[in-house]
Amino acid sequence: MSDQEQAELRLKAARLRQEHEDFDTAINAMISVGCDALSIQRMKKKKLALKDKITKVEDQIIPDIIA
């Protein structure tokens, strides 16, 4: 993998982490306002999907090496 490809993946991972934090902030705000449980559950599900995307991108940057 070239340095540029690796840099692009790192940038993508950083963007996804920021979006993940934004979802966390939004969920906490929804909880404090007293939003309905279904909406909160949907946001948490989207946040979890983002975490999965982050993991996949990070795995591309540093692949597992079986020793």
Tokens of residue 23, six digits: 């979802």
> Does pTM surpass 0.85?
no
Other Cβ atoms less than 10 A from the Cβ of 57: the count is 19
For the chain, the structural domain boundaries read 3-60
pLDDT by residue for the chain (67 residues), tens digit each? 788 999 999 999 999 999 999 999 999 999 999 999 999 999 999 999 999 999 999 998 887 666 5
